Every structure is written in C-alpha cells, then in structure tokens.
C-alpha cells in the first residue's frame, strides 16, 4: 500500500472518530428525562381555526403545551403569559423553532375560531385547538391531565377545574419537562435551550 493511500485512510479514520465524538457530546448535553415523563404524552389530531392540527405538525420545534379554557379567569392567562415570555427568552435565533399549543377542554364554549383569536392575542406562535369530549378524554388520559366540567352547563358562566401543567415537548414530540404557571419564564427558557440544539 503506498504512503498516500495510508495517509488518506488515517485522515478518514480521524474524521470518523471526530464525528463520532461530536455526536456523543451532543447526546451528552441533552438533559435526562425522568422515567415518569417517558410514559406520558402522544400525538393527537384536534381542530384549530385553520383546520385539523396535530402534535406531529410541530415536529422539528420545541413546543410548550397547556390544557385549559378561554373563560379561565387566572391560571390559563398566567400560563400562556409565562409560555410567551419563555419563548421570547429562548432567543431570537430560536424564534422560528419554538411554538405553543393551547388545548381547550371546554369545547362547548371554545370554538376553533375563538381559540384562534385567544391564542394569537398572546403570541401568533401559539395555536389554540379543541375537539370532541371523546377526543379530549383520550388525550387527557395519555397526557395525565385532570379536568372536570360541571354536570349542569346551562349557565354559560361555569368554571372548569383543570390541572395546570405546562408541558415541554422536544422536537421529536416527546414530553421532556413539566412546569406550571408560577414557574419563572427564564427557567423554562433555560430548560428549552438544550432541546433547540
């Protein structure tokens, strides 16, 4: 074997090793996801103001997901405000790689059109969606969401009890962290950054 072939083989081996080490380092930078979160979540297909929308439509983006309803007096607006601040704090370079989903568990009052307006009021990167009671019940079980609609909803001013998790979903559609409406937005942004690389 001549010296130039050996030289090129050595260079190729070094490059392959360097690529392998780089990939390993990237994987090492990803936070460890708690086992409990690894069994939560899943794709869904719900209705938005622009038609069917699923979690799979957000592949490639780091997404914050919250379940609530538009008539919520405090927790939902606070959660959406924190989500917006966290997306902003993630940085301008990540602006097109972060998104939010607001899932209404109150389809009786929250039409897709209303949800579109409500979510856009906070940030156009947040999409509002809802579905049938059967669809929402299935998603709630998979995402470990608790909510309770009143048995008598004839009075249109009813309140909906619901859990207050803000889910951090990575670019592959997997839940990787949990927060709530009182979590500091800077902390959420810090937890988002490793998944934006």
Q: What are the pLDDT digits (tens) for 92-101?
A: 999 999 999 9
User: Going along 36-190, which residue ranges are E strands?
Assistant: 45-48, 51-54, 62-68, 98-104, 126-129, 147-148, 161-162, 166-169, 175-179
- pLDDT, mean over the chain: 88
74-105: b or e for each residue (b if 16 or more CB lie within 10 Å)?
ebbbebbebbbbbbbbbeeebeebbbbbbbbb
By C-alpha distance, which of 163, 82, 67, 62 is closest to 123?
82
By C-alpha distance, which of 181, 150, 189, 147 is closest to 165?
181
Q: Report the pLDDT averaged over residues 3-16.
A: 49
The C-alpha atoms of residue 1 and residue 64 are separated, in whole angstroms, by: 57
Structure tokens at 26: 């990237």
**35-196 has which CATH code?**
3.40.30.10
- In the numeric block, the tokens 């490059």 are attached to 15
Higher-confidence residue of 102 and 32: namely 102
pLDDT of residue 2: 62
> Which stretches within 45-170 are classed as H helix?
75-89, 112-122, 133-143
Is residue 140 pLDDT above 50, yes or no? yes
> Hey, is 61 helix, strand or coil?
coil
Q: What are the pLDDT digits (tens) for 43-75?
A: 999 999 999 999 999 999 999 999 999 999 999
Is residue 79 pLDDT above 50, yes or no? yes
Q: Report the pLDDT averaged over residues 115-123.
A: 97
Q: Report the pLDDT averaged over residues 17-39.
A: 63
């Amino acid at each position: 074997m001549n010296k130039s072939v050996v030289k090129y083989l050595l260079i190729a081996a070094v490059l392959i090793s360097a690529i392998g080490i780089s990939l390993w380092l990237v994987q090492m930078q990803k936070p460890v996801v708690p086992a409990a979160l690894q069994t939560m979540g899943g794709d869904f297909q719900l209705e938005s103001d622009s038609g069917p929308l699923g979690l799979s439509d957000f592949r490639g983006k780091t997404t914050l997901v919250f379940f609530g309803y538009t008539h919520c007096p405090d927790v939902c607006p606070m959660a959406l405000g924190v989500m917006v601040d966290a997306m902003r704090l993630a940085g301008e370079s990540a602006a097109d790689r972060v998104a939010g989903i607001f899932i209404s568990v109150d389809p009786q009052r929250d039409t897709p059109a209303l949800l579109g307006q409500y979510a856009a009021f906070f940030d156009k990167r947040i999409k509002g969606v809802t579905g049938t009671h059967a669809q929402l019940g299935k998603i709630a079980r998979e995402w470990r969401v608790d909510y309770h609609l009143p048995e008598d909803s004839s009075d249109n001013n009813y309140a909906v009890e619901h859990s207050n998790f803000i889910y951090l979903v990575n670019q592959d559609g997997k839940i990787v962290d949990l927060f709530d409406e009182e979590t500091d937005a800077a902390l959420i942004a810090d937890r988002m950054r490793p998944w934006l690389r």
